[in-house]
Amino acid sequence: MGQKLLILSGGLLFLIGQSTYAQKAKKDTASTREIEEVVVVGFGQKRTVKELTGSVGTVSGKAIQSNSSAASLDKALSGRVAGVVTGSASGQPGGAARIRVRGVTSVNGNSDPIIIIDGVRVSQGDLTNNSSTANILANLNSSDYESVTILKDAVSTAVYGADAGAGVVIITTKGGRKGKTRMSVSSEQGVAFRAIEGPRALNTSEWQGLLASAISNYRSISPSEAVQLAKTGKLGSDFSSIFNSTVNSDWRGATQKEGGAFFQNMNASMSGGTDKLTYYSSLGYFDQNSIVRNSFFKRITSTNKVDFKASDKMKITTNLQLAYSNMNTLDNGGAYNNPMRYLFNRPTDPIYNADGSYYLGDPKTGKLSNDLYNVAALQSLNYSNAKTARVFANLQAEYKILPNLVYRFVFAPEYINIEENTYDSPLHGDGTPLGGLMKAYNTRYFNFNVQNILSYDTRLGESHYFNASLIQEAYKSDLRRLFAEKIRVGAPFLQTLDSFVITSSSGGNKRVASRSGYAVMLHYDYDKIFLLDLSGRRDAMSNLWPGKKNGNFWSAGAGVDLARLEPFTSSSVLSQLKISLSYGHVGNNLQSYQIPYATYRYDKNYNGDAAVRVINVDNPNLTWEKVNPFNVGIDVGLLKNRITFSAAYFHKKTTDLVYNLPLSRAQGSRSKLTNVGDMVNKGFEFSVVADILKNRNGLNWRLGFNASTLNNKITKLLDHSDVITSFMILREGEAVNTFYIPKWAGVDPSNGNPLWYVNGKNGETTSNYNEATKAPQGTTTPTFFGGVDTSLSYKGFSLDAQLSYGFGNKIYDDRGNYLFSDGQYTQNYPGYAAQLDYWTPTHPHALNPKPILGGNTGTGSVPANQISTRFLYQGDYLRLRTLKLAYNFKGKTIRNTGLSNLEIYLLGNNIWTWMRDKNLQYDPDLQLMRSSNLNLPPMKTFSLGVNLYF
């Protein structure tokens, strides 16, 4: 039976009458006992499934690997586990993604769960300095995963202490097994396209038509008259050039690959062992290219794991993981290098010269006709590259002091070196006025984790089982960073820092953070009927003031399996009816760069003397956030667990929320870290798994479903005052990451003017933007989400599919004011093709107001393209994440080939997407993100693969 990993550290006993102890029969008799699934609990402790309490979710390594085009774990978890939602800011291969476990834990602090690999926490997130996005977890090879477990409640996470409030993700890697050497080789190759169509730009005739309407509405003439005036030069040379142009450039096509982007994933492994020694070794290669040119992620990995039984008392385990990755990223947002700015380029500007070389604009200015650059040329001339080397070693030694008393020592260093180089050519773009630009960053992380664990377990009679563990853990992170920026290069092909002659900037810094803690875990169960788990931990953190460094964390819970009591013991239908309850106190630590000290930096030159500037404002009262999770759940198994159902209610309260409170610049810093309030996440989780058909004439069918609700609210703020930044608000009673903007009411069908609701909600409307009130308009976090998965097999054939969904969140298009400008910017920036749905007397019920050169201000003075819900879209979606069709050759078919199994498969990832809001032009994977920000498009991948087993 495949191993599942569930990580828990707590439970609380249900106290019920003595009569419940009297049983007619036990289900664990020798005649009915099955091999129980072995699970690993917090800090390597082991339990059977029936001994566990708490709320966890598990995903097999095979399921993670089925989403092979996801370079990192966080992107592959979408829709897999109840209560867990993921979001991706960009389609950049190897880019960052977010995981949220039971809601958003913090505002400015940490909301990502910590990552544990084989019992040891590792680095996570974007560790680069000058890349638009990156993800250190992309340097892990999912083919080495045995399973992934997500810990969600206090009883599961409290033993990890001060930084486990946002949840814990535990990865268990594959290991060797006793027996002959087993080998496997896999190869998968495919092609990727945009997952959704994405925004289309205007072509020349469409843009000319839109401009003609904008001119005609401005001058009160007909569109044909506007065209004539423009062509004859009576509106100026720029309009004459536009309307007389016969060029029709496809900027989007020039920035992306024809025929799709190449994808490749190859792996080989070897494992085996004896009574004394087992081993597992693997080698992997991953190559993913974006559909947008000059964006890619390549990775080589190697894992070597050895378990050695030195004696009857001593066992030693070593695990060495090596990875090297090479990633090219592209700018996002408003950067000139961003190829998604094809929406801003004029279709009347040529992309290429007659000889096929890139057109670089006016020779005098080096720019195109609208003062922008050739984004296709910049893709070829410039680059931003990051090369990452990661070495992770995990040494564990276990010694059996007494038959029931075991000591375990863990030492796990992690070394990460990141080299980043950004080059802007002197030939075109931002680098031209500088004579070329080169930026170089070198970042080194050295982290280590040390654990000392003493475990004692005993059994009294056949029914009473006790386990206790004492744990000491220390973790330290040491960061060193050097950087330099230079300009003026002699020739474009010279692309090393020493070839640039003027140093415009240089520097270096270091940061050291450490933590230490002591924990105790207690477990008791009575015949797997009544379960008790308790845990406590005390942590000390280095980046807080004395008196605030220490914290105490704990959990308690209860579980009772009613199916093992009368009258259920004789039931042939009910195999499990477990009720569980837990509560605890967990920490949510500050980010490593968040420090509450008054700090200064001497990095300015003042007439040859060192000058100081304020970096941080002192706050000796700052403390980490506290999270108090409550959980109650029920787990039901029917027909020997052929059908399982789980439901849970959670209530997770965060107190002492940390926020960067805005300050006046006169105080020397823009913000001050402050504990400002409280927040609550609550909701329900449901999951069902059913083996509908089980080896019925060779046919098997399994179906799974999970669904979660989430209600997030700010319950307390400092002085009960709103905190408003840009178009977001923190307000008591509202969700975190709530949009606070006027509400768009559409277009006045009588005259084409813009309309907004006066009160920001409904009812009376106005055509004057200044009369529209701001109001909360939804949040970035989905309120209902989950997934469906199914597996169907018949003899050698198998079909696997997985779908995820999310509802209730909003996505803001932060470039909509430029690209839906209603005439304000249309002359310079053509914008979306969706602008063509604009008001005319014959089309009164249009999406957009009538275009007017200079902008449509309605009855006010502010144009219609100002911030409002006009550019806020519903993020509701359904996505087919995985569809795999495979055939396995076994037995006689491959006899005498040396193979034990041969699998050939077709695989699709993200191949179908449904979006509720037909006006949303960006990918719904932006959930959890505030805005689209012109990021690279996520991709759908079609691939063909083969797995060979020896």
Q: Are 883 and 792 in contact (CB under 8 A)?
A: no
Q: CB within 8 A of 406, min separation 6: which ones? A: 398, 399, 400, 454, 455, 456
**Which one of 3.20.190.10, 2.40.170.20, 3.30.160.270, 2.30.110.10 gives the CATH number of domain 56-194+260-737+781-810+877-949?**
2.40.170.20
Task: Please indicate whether residue 719 or residue 14 has the higher confidence score (pLDDT).
Answer: 719
Contact 169, 152 (CB under 8 A): no
Which residues, other chains included, contact 501 with Cβ-Cβ below 8 Å and sequence gap of 6+?
A: 486, 487, 488, 489, 490
User: So where are the chain's domains?
Assistant: 56-194+260-737+781-810+877-949, 204-247
CA distances from 36 to 2, 5, 175, 784 (A): 10, 13, 20, 34
pLDDT of 36: 60
Mean pLDDT value across residues 5-13? 32
Question: Which residues 6+ apart lie within 8 Å of 637 measured at CB?
Answer: 563, 574, 575, 576, 577, 643, 644
Distance CA 102, CA 653 (A): 11
Predicted confidence band at 40 (pLDDT cuts at 50, 70, 90)? low
Q: What are phi and psi of 932, to 5 degrees?
A: -75, -40
The two three-digit tokens of residue 554, written as one number? 């704990």
pLDDT grade for 612, boundaries at 50, 70 and 90: confident
User: In whole numbers, what is the pLDDT of the chain averaged over residues?
Assistant: 91
Distance of CA 562 to the CA centre of its chain: 39
Is 868 in a helix, a strand, or coil?
coil
Q: Which amino acid is at 264?
A: Q
pLDDT for residue 859: 96
More confident residue, 804 or 8: 804
> What's the confidence (pLDDT) of residue 615?
78
Mean pLDDT of 396-416: 96
Residue 8 banded pLDDT, cuts 50, 70, 90:
very low
**Contact between 907 and 883 (Cβ < 8 Å):** yes
User: What gap in Å lies between CA 552 and CA 945, rounded to an integer?
Assistant: 50
Confidence class of residue 1 from pLDDT cuts 50, 70 and 90?
Answer: very low
User: What share of the chain has pLDDT > 90, as a percent?
Assistant: 76
Assign 23 a pLDDT band (cuts: 50, 70, 90). Answer: very low
pLDDT tens digits, 174-194: 999 999 999 999 999 999 999
Contact in structure between 201 and 296 (CB atoms under 8 Å): no
Phi, psi of 894 (to 5 degrees): -115, 20
> SS3 for 16?
coil
Whether residue 928 is predicted with pLDDT greater than 80 in this model: the reply is no
Residues 734-743: tens digit of each pLDDT: 999 999 999 9
SS3 assignment, position 283: strand
Per-residue pLDDT at 37: 59
Q: What is the pLDDT of residues 783-832, one digit of tens each?
A: 999 999 999 999 999 999 999 999 999 999 999 999 999 999 999 999 99
Q: What's residue 851's pLDDT? A: 98
pLDDT given for residue 49 in this prediction: 66
What's the rounded Cα separation, in Å, for the pair 99 and 101?
A: 7
Tokens 């460094």 belong to which residue? Answer: 549
Say yes or no to pLDDT of 630 above 60.
yes
For residue range 454-468, what is the model confidence (pLDDT) as tens digits? 999 999 998 999 999
Q: Give the mean pLDDT of 215-232.
A: 96
Question: Is residue 725 predicted with pLDDT exceeding 70?
Answer: yes
According to the model, what pLDDT value does residue 474 have? 96
Q: Is the pLDDT of residue 26 over 50?
A: no
Using alpha carbons, select from 82, 59, 54 the residue that is nearest to residue 685. 82
Kindly report, residue by residue over 356-376, the tens digit of the pLDDT. 999 999 999 999 999 999 999
pTM above 0.75, yes or no: yes
Hey, how many other C-beta atoms are within 10 angstroms of the C-beta on 178? 11
pLDDT the model gives residue 245:
96
Helix/strand/coil (H/E/C) assignment for every residue in 781-843: CCCEEEEEEEEEEECCEEEEEEEEEEECCEEECCCHHHHCCCCCCCCCCCCEHHHHCECECCE
**Per-residue pLDDT at 298:** 97
Mean pLDDT of 82-93: 90
Q: What pLDDT is attached to residue 232?
A: 96
Q: Which tens digits make up the pLDDT trace of 510-529?
A: 999 898 999 999 999 999 89
Got the DSSP string for 354-395?
TTSSBP---TTTSS-TTS---HHHHHHH-EEEEEEEEEEEEE
Residue 664, pLDDT score? 73
Any residues with CB less than 8 A from the CB of 30 and at least 6 apart, and which?
A: none
pLDDT for 638-675, tens place per residue?
A: 999 999 999 999 999 999 998 888 777 766 677 888 88
**Residue 541, pLDDT score:** 85
